[in-house]
Amino acid sequence: MKYPNITKNHLFCIHSFTGCDTTSAFYNKRKNNFIRIFNNDQKLRAAAETFMVEEQSEEVHLNESINCILTIYGAKTVKNLNELRYKRFIALASKNKSVQLSSLPPTEDAAKQHIKRVYLQV
């Protein structure tokens, strides 16, 4: 089995979270890469489990999912999407190239709306 840590329950969450017919995808972040990261990261699998619990508060879903997005974008020390977006923008702008805004991580508010759509889908 290629991904032994991923169950059938995880697949629906992964499919919705990384983009499907009713939810948007993160720019240039492929499902295969997320599945590989998901398979190797216990925290991401635990975050996906929160979507399976109906009694879980919205705040828990939002916090866990934002941590997933930070992981997708490779944030090691940054704990806030807006801060990560700003740092990525500065890094790209300092190279004197035009910055493609779609390549930046989503804002915190945009991520929260995405997470709510994923929750409704799951």
DSSP the chain: ---TT--HHHHHHHHHHT--SSSPPPTT--HHHHHHHHHH-HHHHHHHHHTT-TTS-HHHHHHHHHHHHHHHTT-SS---HHHHHHHHHHHHHTTTS---GGGSPPPHHHHHHHHHHHHHH-
pLDDT given at position 1: 62
The verdict on residue 104 lying in a domain is: no
- Looking at residue 70, its pLDDT comes to 92
Q: What local confidence, expressed as pLDDT, does residue 52 receive? A: 78
Check whether 81 has a pLDDT greater than 90: yes
Q: Is residue 93 part of a domain?
A: no
Does residue 66 lie in a domain region?
yes
Q: Is residue 49 part of a domain?
A: yes
What is the domain count for the chain?
Answer: 1
Asked if 29 and 72 touch (Cβ cutoff 8 Å), the reply is: yes
Parent domain of 67? 8-78+110-121
The pLDDT-based confidence of 104 (bands split at 50, 70, 90) is very high
At 86 the pLDDT is 95
Q: Per-residue pLDDT tens for 16-73?
A: 888 887 788 888 888 888 888 888 888 888 888 887 777 778 888 888 889 889 988 9
- pLDDT above 70 (res 9): yes
Residue 46 within any structural domain of the chain: yes
